[in-house]
Amino acid sequence: MKLLLYTVLIVFLVPLQATLLPHLAIWDVRPDLGLVVAALIGVLAGELDGLLVGVAIGWVLNLYSAGDLWLNLLTTGGAGLFAGLLARHVAEVTPTVLSVAVLVLSLAGGLVAVLGMKHETMSDTWWMLQAVVVPQACFDAALGAALLWLFGQRFVMQRFGVVDRYS
């Protein structure tokens, strides 16, 4: 059942990101849905599931993007692994804790992407960081926290003790 759910999630993530997210963009900034989903799976199902699903999501996203070949694969898989390790070693994963983790992961992935590009001047790099990377990381963090809060409200998650502490 879990494999089927992951497969459906991976297959429909790219069309969802391509069709729905342009309508949810704020100031032309869209969240990285692959990174957020991989982090959520890492927190909810464990680091191995987060890593494997993150790598699969990154691979599918790489098929449809014009970016570096391995960038999405490594950053998304790394986000799932890191979030799973965070859930294992932190006493209580709250939406705030997850949002900080997703913020750091998204900033790191965006920084790697920007530094991998060729820019004419250093001001182009700074502009990309402040106009794209930082707002997208904040959007990713808010989306990850909102989804974890929503899952915490709808389901009892025994993995890290989310019962009814948000109400």
- Structure confidence by residue, pLDDT tens digits, 65-82: 766 667 778 888 888 998
pLDDT mean across residues, the chain? 83
Neighbour count for residue 126 (Cβ, 10 Å): 12
Cα gap 83→102, rounded to integer Å: 8
Q: Which residues pair with 29 in a beta bridge?
A: 26
Cα distances (Å, whole numbers) of residue 120 to 71, 123, 141: 22, 8, 30
Backbone angles phi, psi at 91, to 5 degrees: -60, -40
> What is the C-alpha separation between 44 and 32, in angstroms, rounded?
19
Average pLDDT over residues 144-159: 77
Q: State the amino acid at position 16 in one-letter form.
A: L
pTM for this predicted structure: 0.84
